[in-house]
Amino acid sequence: MLTLRVDKLQIVCYTAHETCFKGGEKMQTTFRIRDLRQAVPMTQHELAKQLGYKSASAITMWESGERKPPSTILPQLAKALDCEVADLFSDC
């Protein structure tokens, strides 16, 4: 987990298990799901229901970095969080 403070805004990035290579360097894919969800504001349970999940456990795992959201759900996730798919990813 990486925490950045910019002025009074705190951004927390949680790493997922997937890595990618950019310019020959290994990088972690990070998601901003928690920050975006809280900005809406919405609970994990509410988000899970909007995405068709029965419980919030998947959302919890995505936000903690334990698992990554399936790529097929990213458009629905972005719509639920009122953002673009690209906004789900972070360069942290």
Q: Which domain CATH number covers 9? A: 1.10.260.40
State how far the Cα of 75 lies from the Cα of 32, in Å rounded to an integer: 14
Q: What is residue 23's predicted lDDT score, i.e. its pLDDT?
A: 56
Taking phi first (over 0 means left), then psi (-120 to 50 degrees means alpha), and beta for anything else, what does residue 62 get? alpha
- The pTM is what? 0.68
Span 45-65, mean pLDDT? 96
More confident residue, 62 or 30: 62
Number of domains in the chain: 1
- Determine the average pLDDT of the residues in 43-71: 95
Confidence of residue 5 (pLDDT cuts 50, 70, 90): very low
Burial of 61: CB neighbours in 10 Å, binned 0-12, 13-18, 19+: middle
Token digits for 24?
Answer: 């020959």
**Domain span at 27:** 2-90
| Residue 25 banded pLDDT, cuts 50, 70, 90 | low
